[in-house]
Structure 1
Amino acid sequence: MKKFRAIFLLNSILLGFLTGVTAGAYLILVNFLIDLIWKKIPVVFHISTILYPLIICSIGGLIIGFLQRKNGNYPKTMAQVLGEYKTTGKIKYTNEVRKNFFHAIPVLAFGGSIGPEASLSGILGGMINWVGDRMKMSLERREELVDMGIGAILSTVFYAPFAGIGRAFDKPTRDFIVKGRKIFVYTVTTISGVIGFFLVNKLFPHESSFGIHFRDNINWTWQGFALIPLAIIVGAMFGKLFNFLGQLSNRITENNRKTVLWAIIGGLIIGIAGVISPYFLFSGEIQLLSFSKEAVSQSAWFLIFIGLGKAFITNFCFSLGWRGGMIFPAIFSSAAIGFALSAILPFTPAILVSATIAASLTYIMRQPGVVAGLLLLLLPIEIFPIIIVVCYLTNYLLKSLSKH
């Protein structure tokens, strides 16, 4: 038994490292293609029209549409990857890895308002299933490895080392020995993933500026603390709206078979939105820092427009074939709503924005530990105690309301 546990721990370490290396290489490729399509091509061909996003996103929609018609709905989401393991016991990795990879690349490169974590989890799930077949792993062990791998993806892609560990805290068990073992293994897996990720980035450095900017010194006020309950309500309501938009868009498009046409329509929506504001393009990772600097001087109406628009585009275009991860856009749009609240009630913006994001993401993801881990390095460290309280309080309130 001890030998088996040691082998499983070693596999977890290797899995984490491989996940970090894969995520790092994948993001380098995506960033290269984004730079090529959106920066280098316009310069080389002297393209200066403001309609460039509309042109590029329409081309992307055509490519995505043909891929969707040929292969179906890819890439798979994190929930789908884990759900498939639970229901079927395996993933057909022979074609799954290839489909997840090639479907996600054009969506990310052509400006889709989604993140890379979904496609990475699909690629990772296929790889683990391939290894599991050769090592004759049980379904439970494979599922645990996939879950740890997803934690490592969250930690590396979002530059949030504690996000992967947060998944262990969210596991529903009251056995402290089992939870302690999970936390230890998840921690080791996450650390090895972060090491692999940063080694790749050290060899092939690329720009990364994921974060939210506030004024250098936080002006603490009693009103800011008193308004935390309001920020939780606003954040939870926005999280509910974000999920509702996803459900609504799925209902509208669930019976469609014109995948090429729908994907082109999705490209047109993203392109038109990109002409209106560049903040509607891409996942929001790179734009978040510059947006937060600009947000402090913007009106509440503008910020609400950006937040609602980002949520709408992300969810509807996902249903139209522009599939991918929702976490980056959810963070960006929630931040816009948080800044809108602080524009209306200018009392310690760092508290109001952070509490709004934490409550919104907790509603969307239902994983308070993961959300807290994601936001630890994204927001000022002084706010982190508030973030933890907001995440777990929101989750408690949601569970309590669901029972009535």
Structure 2
Amino acid sequence: MGLKFKETAVMTLFVAILGGTIGGITWGLLFMMNLGINLLWQDLKNAVNLTLYPVVVCAIGGLLIGLWEQRFGPYPREMAEILKTVKKGNKIPYNNLHIIGISALLPLIFGGSLGPEAGLTGVIVGLCFWFSDRFKFILSETDELPQIGMAATIGVIFGAPLFAFVEQIEDEEKPAVIPKNLKIMMYFVGILSGYGALTILQNLFGGRLGLGHFPAIQKMTAVEWAAAIPLALVGVAAGMLYYLFQKMTKVAIKPLAQKILIRSILGGVILGGVGIFLPYTMFSGEHEMVEVMNSWQGLGFAVLLLTGIVKLLMGNICHQMGWRGGNIFPTIFSGIAIGYACALMLPIDPIFCVAVVTAALTATVMRKPLAVILLLLMCFPINGIIPMTIGAVIGGAIPIPKWIGLLED
């Protein structure tokens, strides 16, 4: 039975307020992240002028991360894990949101090759459950708020409302309490109010993600279309490397699994050491993406290709060493670096090249072609949708080889 007009209006207001709150919290965490990164990696680094600065700082970061994990446990949880929990209708605890927030910020501020989406999602979805429990006396349908809030969170973090909607609604396992059409409307109310609040705060106070926007693809001739499938296969190969690195690092780190401080400090030393030679392998990749877009021709084929591949490795090393975070932004950056490397070797439009490779790599890792296309529209031009579709469909269709799973045994 559908909701009455008054109940619908009240729920719409609640969802709009929730979305705005989500946008505000997301801005606050991103603002603190950027503040910490600027302090450590610009102001202090310029003042110290030490060659081994990345190693020293990342080792200190590893120590802090290890001590925090010893005290409070392994946080934040991965976004996919939280998403699965919410879709099943299970609760996310909200009595430790401050712990999750600090757990998320530490590896990001100290240069981890990780995205902010995992920590942000953990904090905000926990808040949604708190909101749901506190306001049941006003609105009986508050059980739907965490799922709607999850969609708003994803939309705000990635700046991609359609991606957020597809990511949340896809494979939903929990029966809907409210009519489907109304729930779809609520998703968009939450997403757009959250994104609007974030945009206003960013314009007023700064603190935005530094995602670049590619110009339109200038040419799509027979040469580009002939290269599309081979380029997609390059992206798929890079995606398979991601899974290979994931399994290899799990095996390599097993002896240190219970030695929290040692592995987190060692992870910092490896991260900083690699960062001295390949600085773009550090951080989540959204700011570095802009720098690569502006300097890719001068970086050269070897540096671009090596940066893209090593960043896939470093993300897995960080995660296994206890530096937890998301993998979506780093994966997109790797695709862009590898795509530009291919563009240096082929007589085709570079944006076409990057679009296909990035879509194929991201879809190989995420296994959701439609979501990947909608996500990448946040930075690629609209005329890149067909090249991205080719890459994403191929990346999502090719299965992960079973032999990669055997490496864990």
TM-score range (shorter-chain normalised) is: 0.7 to 0.9
CA contact under 8 A between 1:148 and 1:164: conserved in structure 2? no
Match of 1:218 in 2: 218
- Among 34, 37, 41, the alignment partner of 2:40 is 37
Shift of 1:213: 4.5
Shift of 1:243: 2.9
Match of 2:406 in 1: none
* Distance in 2 of aligned mates of 1:390 and 1:169: 23
Secondary structure at the aligned position of 2:323 is classed as coil
Match of 1:77 in 2: 78
CA contact under 8 A between 1:169 and 1:369: conserved in structure 2? no
Shift of 1:342: 2.0
* Distance in 1 of aligned mates of 2:77 and 2:221: 45
* Distance in 2 of aligned mates of 1:358 and 1:124: 28
CA distance 1:152–1:244, shift in 2 (3 Å): farther
Amino acid of the residue matched to residue 10 of structure 1?
A: L
Shift of 1:120: 0.7
- Provide Cα deviations, 1:348-380, integer angstroms capped at 9, x if missing partner: 221121011111111211233332222113112
Match of 2:101 in 1: 101
Residue 112 in structure 1 maps to residue 112 in structure 2: yes
CA distance 1:62–1:375, shift in 2 (3 Å): same
* Distance in 2 of aligned mates of 1:83 and 1:195: 26
CA contact under 8 A between 2:114 and 2:284: conserved in structure 1? yes
* Distance in 2 of aligned mates of 1:329 and 1:258: 27
Shift of 1:341: 2.1
- Among 9, 13, 17, the alignment partner of 1:10 is 13
Match of 2:340 in 1: 339
- Provide Cα deviations, 1:228-277, integer angstroms capped at 9, x if missing partner: 11122221222222133223323433561100100000100111012112
* Distance in 1 of aligned mates of 2:294 and 2:179: 44
Shift of 1:90: 1.8
- CA-based RMSD of the aligned residues comes to 2.9
Flag structure 1 segments of 5+ consecutive residues without an equivalent: none
Shift of 1:115: 1.3
* Distance in 2 of aligned mates of 1:316 and 1:400: 20
Amino acid of the residue matched to residue 15 of structure 1?
A: L
CA contact under 8 A between 1:213 and 1:289: conserved in structure 2? no
Amino acid of the residue matched to residue 56 of structure 2?
A: I
Amino acid of the residue matched to residue 244 of structure 2?
A: F
* Distance in 1 of aligned mates of 2:400 and 2:244: 20
Amino acid of the residue matched to residue 18 of structure 1?
A: T
Residue 294 in structure 1 maps to residue 281 in structure 2: no
* Distance in 2 of aligned mates of 1:196 and 1:56: 34
Match of 2:364 in 1: 363
Instruction: Write the mapping of 1:347-386 to structure 2, written as runs, cut at 5 A.
Output: 347-386=348-387
CA contact under 8 A between 1:168 and 1:182: conserved in structure 2? no
CA distance 1:182–1:335, shift in 2 (3 Å): farther
Secondary structure at the aligned position of 2:334 is classed as helix
CA contact under 8 A between 1:151 and 1:165: conserved in structure 2? yes
Amino acid of the residue matched to residue 155 of structure 2?
A: S
* Distance in 2 of aligned mates of 1:294 and 1:282: 18
Percentage of pairs with the same residue: 31
* Distance in 2 of aligned mates of 1:143 and 1:225: 48
Shift of 1:106: 1.4
Amino acid of the residue matched to residue 15 of structure 2?
A: S
Shift of 1:5: 4.7
Amino acid of the residue matched to residue 14 of structure 2?
A: N
CA contact under 8 A between 2:242 and 2:365: conserved in structure 1? yes
Residue 197 in structure 1 maps to residue 193 in structure 2: no
* Distance in 1 of aligned mates of 2:313 and 2:55: 17
Instruction: Write the mapping of 1:384-399 to structure 2, written as runs, cut at 5 A.
Output: 384-392=385-393, 394-395=395-396, 397-398=397-398
Amino acid of the residue matched to residue 247 of structure 1?
A: K
Secondary structure at the aligned position of 1:89 is classed as coil
CA contact under 8 A between 1:170 and 1:368: conserved in structure 2? no
* Distance in 2 of aligned mates of 1:228 and 1:259: 45
* Distance in 2 of aligned mates of 1:220 and 1:277: 32
TM-score of the pair, normalised by structure 1: 0.87
* Distance in 2 of aligned mates of 1:235 and 1:189: 34
Number of paired residues? 392
TM-score of the pair, normalised by structure 2: 0.86
Match of 1:230 in 2: 230
CA contact under 8 A between 1:54 and 1:272: conserved in structure 2? yes
